[in-house]
Amino acid sequence: MKIEPVAHNTLAHSVAERLLTLIADGTIRSGEKMPSERNLMDKLQVSRTTIREALSGLAALGIVEIRPGLGTFVKPDARDLVPHTLAALQDPNARPLAKTVKIARDNGSQDTSRPALPPPPEKPVRIPNLKKDRLATFELISWWERAQVQAARVMVVGAGALGNEVLKNLALMGVGNLFIVDFDTIEAANLSRSVLFRAEDNGLKKAEVAARRVKELNPDVHVQFFHGDINTQLGLGVFRRMDVVVGCLDNREARLALNRFTYRLNQPWVDGAIQELLGLVRVFVPGQGACYECTLTEQARREMSLRYSCPLLARQNILLGKVPTTPTSSSIVGALQAQEALKLIHKLPVDAGKVLHVNGMTNEFHSTAYTPDPECESHWVYGDITELPDRKASNTTLAEMLRIARDALGADALIELDQEIVTALECHNCATNTEVYRPISTVGYNEGLCPGCGELREVHMTHVITGRESFLQRPLLAMGIPPLHIVRAHNADEYRFFELTGDLPETIHFAHFEGGAQAPRAARIRLNARPQIKLGAPQPLAVAEQAPSSKPARPRVVLHPVK
Ligand SMILES: [Zn+2]
Ligand SMILES: [Zn+2]
């Protein structure tokens, strides 16, 4: 007796039918979000691959819409379409599911016979102009959506070895808007693995040079660079306006920060890491499997909390990350990251919450799913965000912000800052108290030492604004709250979120090097004219009392001992 194996797509097929009947009987409602993949896997007792195959089939049939980072939504008119779709599915001659693009796969799956990928019927066939159109050949890729790629906004955090590769690929593919973040400058050692940097760039800002070269590579791409610290200097409103965030980082602290920011705004992010010939790539999507923080071991958590227990040491350690690797590793991992970003832009399925390990020594690729941690502190998606079009971080004082919060939440509302703000450093030996007002992560260990006696001073910190503070007249910017940030307030019952939307035009513009990337000098002059975010810049009141008027171009707070 010969037993035929059950065809792989049969299972997805019956899952799709089952989902259709659930939509028809109202168990899953039209216009609403589908239950999570995990939930469906439990209920229907099938693998994630099968669920995804069924869902992408239903998406192709116009029943559901897959929105990466948000979930799968039942279309408002889905219920009416069910009878027709069910009939189509049951017709043995038409196998609509077999025609759908199949991307999802599980590691170790026996399924090697993937269905061919015909162009989706809704995409008109265009004859590309190979002489004039640099993106012409992409048009021949069946699922490529030129308009979507050109409209996409992608943030690349870290412009080192990985960042260079990711940016190069995104620019070549014509991804329309690139926001490049790095706080570092170029040194000779970067030249061995950074395709965008040249010897003459030594000492220049990585983010700026990368942006200029990306613009040279593809002048149709709009770029913006940000030379600053991802942990504290970028408002959440910036993340909110990105389609995908790609992390090209070399340290845990920045990854954790990126993970929390993106999670709060329900955004996907793509992580990459390299060391020697090893690499890994992972995509994190809120609500779909594990997030970055879920993947941290007890050991890693202990190390991090240990650092934070002596706050002024935290920052020093971050700067240690100098990873030995090769340009081949960064090419491979950076390419995979850019490719995942491209899929997310196209709303194609991705393997969220899994890690793809790349071993360049043995040429092995393997992927493993992480276990989500139900207790994970990162799992918090902000609710509705109130935009404040007239409010900027620089023109709104803490008192005004508190008033806005209390108008919405009542008189007992408090503002919760995202991290501890060092308000003062006090030396008990010398009986001095020095005002600081900067995020803890930007105050170095040496600054904590008393200039009078050399002892480590007591650090006064706060992360809640109650209305009783002595510094309520300080603007938010002078409390370390960056432009376009989303400020969080709560009363006993609920949280509300307020965006400093007045900062939007200056904070996100994608207009760097629009005049042409070839003239670095001219471009640099233009850039300097744009005000940079100065965290901890002296606030007006203090300046009036004590500040010399001949400040250097980039003012920093100096710590004045107060008698
Ligand atoms: Zn988590
Ligand atoms: Zn002292």
Report the separation in Å between the CA atom of 449 and the middle of ligand 2, taken as the mean of its atom positions. 8
Look at residue 367 in the predicted model and tell me its pLDDT: 96
Ligand nearest to the CA of 450: 2
Domains contained in the chain, CATH given: 8-99 (1.10.10.10), 144-369 (3.40.50.720), 385-508+530-546 (no CATH)
Mean pLDDT of 285-310: 83
Give 42-68 pLDDT, tens digit per residue: 888 888 888 888 888 888 888 888 877
Ligand 1 centroid to residue 378 C-alpha, Å: 5
Nearest ligand for residue 288 CA: 1
- CB atoms < 10 A from the CB of 184, how many? 14
Ligand nearest to the CA of 262: 1
Question: If pLDDT is split at 50, 70 and 90, which confidence band does 125 have?
Answer: low
Q: How far is the CA of 263 from the centre of ligand 1 (A)?
A: 9
Interatomic CA distance for residues 203 and 189, integer angstroms: 12
* Lookup result for tokens 């012409």: 136
469 C-alpha to ligand 2 centroid (Å)? 25
Query: What stretches of 91-224 show up as alpha helix (H) in DSSP?
Result: 146-151, 161-172, 206-217
Lowest mean pLDDT among 5-19, 52-66, 341-355, 370-384: 5-19
Provide the pLDDT for residue 12. Answer: 81
Would you tell me how many other CB atoms lie within 10 Å of the CB of residue 247? Answer: 28
Q: From ligand 2's centre to the CA of 550, what distance in Å?
A: 28
- Closest ligand to Cα 427: 2
Q: Residue 85, class by beta-carbon neighbours within 10 Å (0-12 exposed, 13-18 middle, 19+ buried)? A: buried
Helices (H) and strands (E) in the chain, counts: 17, 16
pLDDT attached to residue 493: 94
Provide, rounded to the nearest whole percent, the portion of the chain with pLDDT above 70. Answer: 80
Look at 59-73, 310-324, 503-517 and tell me which has the smallest mean pLDDT: 310-324
Lowest mean pLDDT of 31-40, 274-283, 337-346, 456-465, name the range: 31-40
Please provide the average confidence, as pLDDT, over all residues in the chain: 83
Examine the pLDDT at 316 and tell me if it is beyond 60.
no
How many Å lie between the centroid of ligand 1 and the Cα of residue 372? 6
For residue 256, the CA-to-ligand 1 centroid distance in Å is 10
Q: How far is CA 48 from CA 39, 75, 369, 483, 506, in A?
A: 10, 22, 11, 40, 43
158-217, pLDDT tens digit by residue?
999 999 999 999 999 999 999 999 999 999 989 999 999 999 999 999 999 999 999 999
Q: What is the mean pLDDT of residues 440-464?
A: 90
pLDDT band at 93 (very low <50, low <70, confident <90, very high): low
Q: Does 91 or 150 have the greater pLDDT score?
A: 150
> Residue 474 is which amino acid?
R
pLDDT tens digit sequence for 352-372: 999 999 999 999 999 999 999
Per-residue pLDDT at 32 exceeds 90: no
| Number of neighbouring beta carbons within 10 Å of residue 390 | 9
pLDDT tens sequence across 370-380: 999 999 999 99
Phi-psi region of 454 (alpha: psi -120 to 50; beta: other; left: phi over 0): left
pLDDT at position 402: 97
Percent of the chain with pLDDT over 90: 57
Q: For residue 474, is pLDDT > 90?
A: yes
Cα–ligand 2 centroid distance for 451 (angstroms):
6
**For the residues 509-534, what does the mean pLDDT come to?**
60
- pLDDT score of 529 more than 70: no
Distance CA 38, CA 40 (A): 5
Quote the pLDDT of residue 79: 84
Whole-number Å distance, alpha carbon 546 to ligand 2 midpoint, is 21
Give yes or no for residue 115 having a pLDDT over 50.
no
Q: Please enumerate, as own/partner, the contacts of 362-370 that have beta carbons within 8 Å and a separation of 24 or more.
A: 366/107, 367/107, 368/107, 369/289, 369/290, 370/289, 370/290, 370/294, 370/295
pLDDT band (50, 70, 90) for residue 298: confident
pLDDT tens column, 231-252: 999 999 999 999 999 999 998 9
147 beta partners = none
- Among 119-123, 397-401, 431-435, whose mean pLDDT is lowest? 119-123
Strands (E), 230-277: 244-247, 269-275
CA of 370 to the centre of ligand 1 (A): 10
The sign one gets for the Cα dihedral 249, 251, 252, 253 is negative
Global pTM?
0.70
CA–CA separation, 43 vs 18, rounded Å? Answer: 11
What value, to the nearest 5°, has the Cα angle with vertex 384 and ends 383 and 386?
135
Rounded to an integer, the average pLDDT of 405-434 is: 94
Could you say which ligand is closest to the alpha carbon of residue 561?
A: 2
Per-chain residues with Cβ under 5 A from ion ligand 1: 291, 293-294, 376, 378
Check residue 123 and give its pLDDT. Answer: 65
C-alpha span between 32 and 24 (Å, rounded): 13
Cβ atoms of 242 and 154 within 8 Å: the answer is yes
* pLDDT in the model for residue 203: 96
